Amino acid sequence: MNVVATGAELREALLDCAGSDGRRVLVPTMGALHPGHLELLKRAREAAGPAGTVVVSIFVNPIQFDRSADLEAYPRPMESDLAKCHAAGVDLVFTPDSAAMYHHDRSVMVTESLLSHGLCGAARPGHFDGVCTVVLKLFLLSGCHAAVFGAKDFQQVAIIRRMVRDLDVPVEILECPTVRESDGLAMSSRNLRLTARQRADAPRIHRALAAAAKLHDVAEILAAATMEIAASPMLRIDYLALVDAETLVPVTALARPAVLATAVFYGEVRLIDHVVVRSGKLKIREPAKKPD
């Protein structure tokens, strides 16, 4: 496994893979790899094929953070991340620092102006501009044919799909289902920052969404989910919304597939989760098995 830290090194390392027949598949990450990421790596290998190249980027992208405390506290266990990539059969890991990714006087950003208005976009101004900009740069630097993202960040995936469509980016977007702990909590690098009491409380998020999504009325769904989540004195709801699965606009009726999504704060730690709702019935995406 090759580990490189600059665009020039990445280009050179990719030349070694240029003769291979398979596809080049990128998994963009911010590190602190957990079993959910390992599913992305597995999916990338399947998509690349044995002769293809799996590239993982590990970069805590400063321009997508709206709070400097969150950026500073983001875990960066580089050694164990590299060991996990090696064990997963990754070919190439790209670990740039901020100076390797951004010119000090950079003045061009990628902005998605529709799907990024609500949900996490409303609560985190500029977040999705930062995501789109870094993802497009990673696509260009790696020259990947496909890239794998986790469905947990469903708004992010929708926005990246829109960017690829609108800018004719020749990269196939592949999606992996949310991987959950045995108590239902969606896996996230941020879970590491919860105290033991917060961690014990956090499964209520998915429990609340899953139970509410079984109801058949928009107002009832929102009220039930809010009541269950807000019953915890330990958290603060950032948003809780039922939106159209395609347009991400809040719905007033369940005529089309919708997404019940929330973001909550445990202290400084912001967690997100969602479930897909179809005409009042919950569709649980096939859970990826947590490796033993």
Instruction: Quote the least distance from Cβ 130 to ligand PAF, whole Å.
Output: 7
Tokens of 192: 């590491």
CB of 12 to ligand PAF, least distance (A): 23
Please identify, using beta-carbon distances, which residue of 64 and 116 lies nearer to ligand PAF.
64
Can you state the percent helix, strand and coil of the chain, rounding each to 5?
40, 20, 40
- Residues carrying an active site annotation: 37
Cβ closest to ligand PAF, residue 145 vs residue 204: 145
Give the integer Cα–Cα distance in Å for 137 and 155.
19
Footprint of ligand PAF on this chain (CB under 6 A)?
28-30, 61, 64, 131, 134-135, 153, 156
Quote the Cα angle for 251-252-257, to 5°: 45
Cβ proximity to ligand PAF: between 136 and 235 the closer is: 136
Least distance to ligand PAF, CB of residue 51, Å: 26
* Residue 55, SS3 per DSSP: strand
Q: How far apart are CA 225 and CA 55, in angstroms?
A: 39
Measured CA to CA, the distance from residue 267 to residue 202 in angstroms comes to 12
Q: Do the beta carbons of residue 265 and residue 235 sit within 8 Å?
A: yes
Residue 226 Cβ, how far from ligand PAF at the closest point, in Å?
26
- Residue closer to ligand PAF by CB (options 99, 255) is 99
